Structure 1
Amino acid sequence: MRAIHQHLRKINKPSVKTIHSPDGDIIDCVLLHHQPAFDHPRLRGQKPLDPPERPRGHNKRKGLRPKSFQLWRMEGETCPEGTIPIRRTKEEDILRANSVSSFGKKLRHFQRDTSSNGHEHAVGYVSGEKYYGAKASINVWAPQVQNQYEFSLSQIWIISGSFGNDLNTIEAGWQVSPELYGDNYPRFFTYWTNDAYQATGCYNLLCSGFVQTNSQIAIGAAISPSSSYKGGQFDVTLLIWKDPKHGNWWLEFGSGILVGYWPSFLFTHLREHASMVQYGGEVVNSSPFGAHTSTQMGSGHFAEEGFTKSSYFRNIQVVDWDNNLVPSPNIRVLADHPNCYDIQGGSNRAWGNYFYYGGPGKNPKCP
């Protein structure tokens, strides 16, 4: 318990205002320069950077305002200018983890053949070029997760390095993770690692790394509304790109809402560029040798069901060497276990490059 309380003191920073969210979250409004990122020796005493030049071809649509898609904003509460909202970590959050040191981390798993380690993917990907960012719109669902040790997420991965110990990734999307958050709400999240998920990196702001610049979005907070089967579809747009001037990787959410950046010094290979971009879903099957998990990916329905029933990524793009947003060329699709979760790609004028993906997990073809 002493180790847990010590860790809580480290990550929960003093706040100038506290907001109680309807879902039970406590959101602390923390001064910009007191956020966890500035515990990093390379950032100590610094201020967040000014916004970078956005990629060409990126139009900031008028659309979602931040208060309309996170539960903590529903009653009109906001954090004052000069602060950022941080979801407070509680004792019980850390107690759900395997250990204090593993709290807020993804366990190492990133091999392309994921049949043996319980992580299953249905993804679209591009590789073989130099990539400087990615963008897509993803519809949000609230998939059922079978138990506390599993999660279901939909995200963009920016990847460089080999799939050995030097893998660098930047990740952002939405996830349902009872272990991390203690509930089944879909939540906006970020992640990074520079050593294949071994010792570095974390979710959200649970270690020093990602620098948040936005006072209106809480990373790790619940997204609302979500899509409904045969009903309204709710999607969010994510853009991650490398600032040509300073080399940091920035994240934008929705229509023109800059969330913050990953400093380039966190990485080795990603200091230069990415060699692969992935888009899609991932679940944990915690019993890979027994009956398959019934944890759903996306909507819990297969790709062939299509619009309003299946999950999708649309307007899939990458950022090229000259900071232009361009359609993802030669996007390939891959499902580790297509009888459990599958994927189907396509393209048209309205949606550009897109794919449907997901599935129910356990079913007669996926016993």
Structure 2
Amino acid sequence: MRLFLLFVILCGFYNVAYGKVSLHIDMKLKALNKPALKTIKSEDGDIIDCIDIYKQHAFDHQALKNHKIQMKPSVEFGTKKTTTKKNGSSEPITSQIWSKSGNCPIGTIPEAVLIALGYNFVGAQSDINVWNPPRVQASDYSSSQIWLLAGLSADFESIEAGWVVNPSVFGDSRTRLFTYWTKDSYTKTGCINLLCAGFVQTSTKFALGAAVEPVSSTSRDQYSITVTMFLDPNTGNWWLTCADNVMGYWPGKLFSYLQHSATAVQWGGEVYSPNVFKKPHTITSMGSGQWASYLWAEASFHTNIRIKDYSLQIKYPKYLSEYSDENDCYSTKLHRKTYMSEPHFYFGGPGKNRFCP
């Protein structure tokens, strides 16, 4: 069962779905069969295999048998912002630890909700505050991410990206970069990262599934990673960039509803556990593990929240609303320090506590 804590731009309604985790293990075994042309051992213990870009798992998908790789988008999301580090702004993460030990050769790739109404979205982004949640049980996961969705409530399509702690997939409790997609509400299609056919990675510098460091700590430096997803109108592919690195894309052929636009954008956190909405509740925490009301340097956040619609203008969402499935376990707060300052969407919580037994 999945628990959402969301800041959403929404046109339509999406039910909670339950099939996301069950697909992971079989996909993981299939992905291990791809031969590596180079192996990099990272100083943090990760093993990065560089595989032939045309032999990555994406091309096992029937719809992509004759797909020609698009190495870069034909359009950009928009101009890059510049920030200075000060109280209220976080330090951007621009690289991963494994890249200190080498890069994948050219031709290979590393494998390793607020609510607004009335738009068709062709892009979204945010600076995602990076934490390592203090408690994530072995059968659970905890993420901070962006969702782009389209379709019907019982049959929606979604592309997702951000960071996750997922012991059952990665075998540890480290914070890792991830993507996800589905075209049938997590029922039979889609998976995390490159564990199944679908997402086409083009970057040789950033690895999906690799650890994201450094992470933020209470009352100390805050770190974030900029995640952007946008539609290339010339190809129908949905592109992903992380920390200004073009990661790759979801081919438009994977989808029906998402071929032209998304009808909902969500920012926030998610906890999956068999022990939500019942007692005893899971102790898995979300974000930093602190309540949203604790704000800067205590609670996890999204900021620099932007969308792009058919006007092709990058803009702050006009109509916003917050949502939490279990307010006594995890909370939300949209906060603006001053009228002119950039809003921060704070979210998270400890899971099981005296109000959430």
Give the aligned length: 324
The Cα offsets for residues 98-132 of structure 1, whole Å up to 9 and x where unpaired, read as xxxxxxxxxxxxxxxxxxxxxxxxx2233432111
**Contact (CA 8 Å) 1:132, 1:321: kept in 2 or not?**
yes
The one-letter code sitting in structure 1 at the alignment partner of 2:347 is Y
The Cα of 1:276 is off from its aligned counterpart by 0.7
Q: TM-score, normalised by structure 1?
A: 0.82
**Residues 1:130 and 2:133 are matched in the alignment:** no
Indicate the larger mover: 229-238 or 332-341: 332-341
What's 1:355 paired with? 345
Aligned to 1:258, the other structure's residue is in SS state: strand
Aligned to 2:53: 32
The one-letter amino acid of 1:81's match is I
Moved over 6 A (4+): 4-7
Aligned counterpart, 1:266: 254
In structure 2, the CA distance between the partners of 1:200 and 1:285, relative to structure 1 (3 Å rule), is: closer
Partner of 1:203: 192
Query: Does 2:69 match 1:48?
Result: yes
After TM superposition, give the deviation of residue 53 of structure 1 in Å.
Answer: 4.0
Q: What is the letter of the counterpart of residue 86 of structure 1? A: E
Cross-structure match for 1:110: none
Contact residue 55 and residue 324 of structure 1 kept, 8 A: no
Structure-2 change in CA distance of 1:329 and 1:11 (3 Å): farther
* Equivalent residue, structure 1, for 2:267: 279
Quick one: which of 304, 310, 316 aligns to 1:327?
Answer: 316
SS at match of 2:263: strand
C-alpha distance in structure 2 between counterparts of 1:7 and 1:302, whole Å: 34
SS of 2:114's equivalent in the other structure is: strand
Once the 2 structures are TM-superposed, how far is the Cα of residue 56 of structure 1 from its aligned partner?
A: 5.9
Q: 1: distance between equivalents of 2:26 and 2:284?
A: 32
SS in 2 for 1:38: helix
Contact (CA 8 Å) 1:85, 1:217: kept in 2 or not? Answer: yes
Counterpart in 1 of 2:80? 59
Q: Deviations over 1:204-239 (max 9, x none)?
A: 001110011100111011111100011110100011
State how far apart, in whole Å, the 1-side matches of 2:28 and 2:223 are: 36
Distance 2:27 2:342 in 1: 49
- 1:129 alignment partner AA: Y
**For residues 207-246 of structure 1, what are the structure 2 equivalents within 5 Å?**
207-246=196-235
Fraction of identical pairs, as percent: 42
The answer to whether structure 1 residue 170 and structure 2 residue 162 are counterparts is no
Give deviations 1:256-275, integer Å, cap 9, x for gaps.
21000001111111112111
Amino acid at match of 2:109: I
Task: State the one-letter code of the partner of 2:170.
Answer: Y
Which of 238, 244, 254 does residue 249 from structure 1 map onto?
Answer: 238
Contact 1:11 1:207 in 2 (8 A): no
Tell me if the contact between 2:27 and 2:196 (Cα under 8 Å) persists in the aligned partners.
Answer: no
The residue type equivalent to 1:363 in the other structure is: N
| Long gaps (5+) in structure 1 | 88-122
Structure 1 position 171, deviation (Å) = 0.4
CA 1:366 to 1:65, structure 2 compared with 1: closer, same or farther past 3 Å? closer
Aligned-partner residue type, residue 107 of structure 2: G
Preserved CA contact (<8 Å) 1:144 1:184: no
Structure 2 residue 71 is matched with structure 1 residue 71? no
Once the two structures are TM-superposed, the CA of residue 44 in structure 1 deviates from its matched residue by: 2.6
Change (3 A) 1:79 1:350: farther
What residue number does 1:315 align with? 304
Q: Which residue of 2 aligns with 1:115?
A: none
2: distance between equivalents of 1:37 and 1:242? Answer: 18
**1:133 is aligned with what amino acid?**
G
Amino acid at match of 1:222: A
Residues 311 and 84 (structure 1), Cα distance of their counterparts in 2 relative to 1, 3 Å cut: same
Cα distance, 1:291–1:52 mapped onto 2, change above 3 Å: same
Structure 2 unpaired stretches of 5+: 1-24, 84-90
Q: Is the 8 A contact 2:219 2:297 kept in 1?
A: yes
Q: Measured at CA, do residues 238 and 5 of structure 1 come closer, stay the same or move farther in structure 2, by a change above 3 Å?
A: closer
Q: String of CA shifts for 1:2-36, please: whole Å, max 9, x gaps.
A: xx999746543111110123443321111211111
Report the aligned-residue RMSD: 2.3
TM-score, normalization by structure 2: 0.85
- Structure 2 counterpart SS, 1:128: coil
Moved more, 322-331 or 355-364: 322-331
Considering Cα pairs closer than 8 Å and 6+ residues apart, tell me whether 1 or 2 has the greater RCO. Answer: 2
Residue in structure 2 matched with residue 84 of structure 1 by the alignment? 109
